[in-house]
Amino acid sequence: MLVSATEMLKKARDGHYAVGQFNINNLEWTKAVLFTAQEMNSPVILGVSEGAGKYMTGYKTVAAMVKAMVETLNITVPVALHLDHGSYEGAKACLEAGFSSIMFDGSHYPIDENVAKTTELVKLAHEMGVSVEAEVGSIGGEEDGVVGAGEVADPAECKRIADLGIDFLAAGIGNIHGKYPANWKGLDFDALGKIHEATGGIPLVLHGGTGIPADMIQKAISLGVSKINVNTECQLSFAAATREYIEAGKDQQGKGYDPRKLLAPGFEAIKATVKEKMELFGSVNKA
Ligand code: 13P
C-alpha cells in the first residue's frame, strides 16, 4: 500500500533526519529503490517527473507498477509515490491515477496565481488523503526541459504558500538540479534559516540533492529540511556501471546481451547510491 508523505516527513522533521526522494525511470529503477528501502528499513519517496511519467507510458502505468511491486515484493516500509515538479494538469492527472503525493510547481507563475492554483490542488488532494508539496523560488539547472534560474526564495512568499495548508515546501536556496558547477557558491543557509523561521516548522524540501557535500546536507537538515530529492546521482552511477560492463566486452560473452544481465550492474549501482544517501540523510531504521 502506498502512503502519503505527510506522516513520514513530520517524523523526519521531529527526529532531525531527512527522507530521500529518489526519481524513478523504469522497472529496474523502481525495484532498486524499493529493495534498498526495505533492506535499510527506511521510509522512501519515489519521485516521478512529468517526463519520466510520459516515458513510462503514463501515470496510470506507473501507479499500477509501483503498487504491484510493493505488494509482490512484500515491501513493508512506508512508500509514497510522488509527482515531481508537476504542472496543474499533471497534478490532477496523478490524483486520478492513484499517486499518494503530488508536487505542484507553480514557482514560475506570479505569486497570486501560484496561490490560487495551489489552494485548489490542496483541497482536491487532501480530500483523497494525498500530500502536497509546493514551490517558491525556482531551483536552478534544467530538469526535463524545465529551466530554473536558481533564485533564492523570499521568506514572506514562502509563508504565504506554507499557510495554504500544503504538507511540505520546496524553497530555492541556491540549489541546482544536475551537477553543480565548479564555481557554485553553496547553499544559502542564511536564507534557509529565515525561511524555516517564517514558515513555522513545515517540513522543507531540498531539491538538487546530487553532489551537495555531506556537511551542507547535515546543516540543511538542522535548519528544517526533511526531504531531499536525488535524481542525477542515480543516473550517473547507473550509466558508469553499464559503461564498464560494455567496455569490458561482457555483453559479447555468453548471453551477456540478455537485458537481465546487461542491466544488472547498473541496478546494483543504483542500490549502492540509494543506500549511501539514506545513510547520509539519517533515515536508516526510521521506517
Ligand atoms: P538532482 O537531479 O540534482 O539530484 O535533483 C533531483 C531533484 O531535485 C528532483 O526534483
Q: Which atom, in ligand 1's list, is nearest to the CA of 178?
A: 3
pLDDT, residue 181, reads 86
Instruction: Find out whether 203 and 171 touch, Cβ atoms under 8 Å.
Output: no
Nearest alpha carbon to residue 198 among 137, 148, 114: 137
Q: Which three cell numbers stand for residue 10?
A: 513530520
pLDDT along the chain (287 residues), means of 10: 97 98 98 98 98 98 98 98 97 98 92 93 98 84 56 90 96 91 90 96 96 97 98 98 98 98 98 98 98
pLDDT, residue 147, reads 52
Cα–Cα distance for residue pair 125/86, rounded to 1 Å: 13
pLDDT, residue 189, reads 96
> Residues near ligand 1 with C-beta < 6 Å?
23, 47, 84-85, 177-178, 207-210, 229-233
Q: Give the burial class of 285: count Cβ atoms within 10 A of its Cβ; 0-12 exposed, 13-18 middle, 19 or more buried.
A: exposed
pLDDT, residue 107, reads 82
Q: What is the CA radius of gyration of the chain?
A: 18
Q: Which three cell numbers stand for residue 137?
A: 523560488
CATH superfamily of 6-281: Aldolase class I (3.20.20.70)
Quote the ligand 1 centre to 64 CA distance (angstroms): 24
Q: What is the model's pTM?
A: 0.95
Domains of the chain by residue range: 6-281
pLDDT, residue 143, reads 57
pLDDT, residue 108, reads 85
